[in-house]
Amino acid sequence: MLNLVLFGPPGAGKGTQAEYLIESFGLIHLSTGDLLRSEIAAQTELGNEAKRLMDKGELVPDEMVIGMIKGKLDANKDAKGFIFDGFPRTVDQAKALDVLLNENGTPVSGMLCLQVEKQELINRLLSRGKISGRSDDQNQSIIENRIAVYSEKTLPLINYYEPQGKHFDVDGMGPIEDIAGRLKKVVEKL
C-alpha cells in the first residue's frame, strides 16, 4: 500500500498534482479542503462551523478533519493507497493519522513537499479565486494569513517526518507536467 502526504503551502499546486499521482499510481485522493467545502455546500452543522474559520484563513479544529479522514479510511478499506492533500496540517493531525493508518498496518510512505516562492503562491491563489469564486482566494490579506498559519502550524511537520526518513522536497515551480514528472520519480523510489 502506498500512502502519500502531499505537502506545501496554499497555492503550491497540491490538488493539481494529486490528479497526476492518482492517474500514475491508482490512489484515492483525500483532500480535507474539498471535504470541508462539500460540507459547506450541503449546509451541514460541521460545514457552517468550518466556513467561519476558512473565510478568515484559519485552520478548522483538528478533531473535525481527523473525524472526516477516519470516515474515508473506513469506507475505503480495499484501497491501493491514499494521497492526503491538505492533511495533516498540524503535528497532532499527523500523530492521529499514524494511529489510524497503523490500525490497518500501512504507515505513511512519504511526505512530498512542493516548494514554491511566496509571490508565486499569492499570484496563483488570486488567479484561482477569479475562476473558482473561492472567497478565501480573493483577498490578499486572507491569503497572507493562510501562508502565515502554514509557516507557524504546518511547516513544523517537516521535523515530524524528516527523522523518519519520509520527507522529500520537490521543486514546485515551472510547468505543471515537469513538476508531475519530478514527483513521480520520487514516488517510484519509495
Residues in contact with ligand ADP by CB under 6 A are: 10-11, 32-33, 36, 53-54, 57-60, 65, 86-87, 89, 93, 136, 146
How many other CB atoms sit within 10 Å of the CB of residue 178? 11
Q: Which is nearer to ligand ADP, 59 or 180 (CB)?
A: 59
Separation CA 82–CA 4 (nearest Å): 6
Separation CA 7–CA 49 (nearest Å): 25
Q: Which residue is nearest to ligand ADP (CB)?
A: 33
* Least distance in angstroms from the C-beta of 42 to ligand ADP: 16
CA triplet 140, 142, 147: central angle to 5 degrees? 95
* Least distance in angstroms from the C-beta of 139 to ligand ADP: 12
Q: Are 13 and 114 in contact (CB under 8 A)?
A: yes
Q: Which is nearer to ligand ADP, 11 or 172 (CB)?
A: 11
Q: Which is nearer to ligand ADP, 1 or 148 (CB)?
A: 148
Q: Which is nearer to ligand ADP, 78 or 123 (CB)?
A: 123
Helix 32-41 × helix 62-75 angle, to 10°: 100
Q: Which is nearer to ligand ADP, 153 or 166 (CB)?
A: 153
* Least distance in angstroms from the C-beta of 151 to ligand ADP: 13
2-7: strand order across its sheet: 28-31, 81-85, 2-7, 110-115, 167-171
* Least distance in angstroms from the C-beta of 10 to ligand ADP: 3
Q: Are 143 and 126 in contact (CB under 8 A)?
A: yes
* Least distance in angstroms from the C-beta of 32 to ligand ADP: 3
* Least distance in angstroms from the C-beta of 189 to ligand ADP: 26
Beta bridge partner(s), residue 28: 82
Strands of 44-177 (E only): list them. 81-85, 110-115, 167-171
Kindly state the cell numbers that stand for 24: 500514475
Q: Which is nearer to ligand ADP, 83 or 188 (CB)?
A: 83
